[in-house]
Structure formats: C-alpha cells, structure tokens
Amino acid sequence: MNPNRSLIKGVVCGVRVEEIDDPLMQQIRYLDKLIDELAKGKAMEKILRQ
C-alpha cells in the first residue's frame, strides 16, 4: 500500500474513510474511494488532499 493513502479523504458508502477504526476496513475503503474517484476522471493530485 502506498504510504500516502492516508491523504485520501471523503465518504464511501456513507462512511468517512478517515474515521474508520478497523485498519483493514480502512485500507479497503481507501481503495474503494481511489477507484471511484479515478473512474470519475479525477486527477490523482485532487484525490490525495494534503
């Protein structure tokens, strides 16, 4: 996993990814969010908010 994955912010399936307590579920949701945003045509720089 990319060390910058924690920069991904937002909501997936009604759950805010940065607030998930379970580390495995959080990583899964990071991937979900990344795929969703890339599929919409968003640039990686916009997805990884700093």
Distance CA 22, CA 35 (A): 20
pLDDT for 3: 83
Please state the pTM of the whole predicted model. 0.78
Whole-number percent of the chain with pLDDT over 90: 36
Domains, in order of start, for the chain: 3-47 (1.10.8.290)
Q: Are 50 and 6 a contacting pair, CB within 8 Å?
A: no
Residue 22 has pLDDT above 90, yes or no: yes
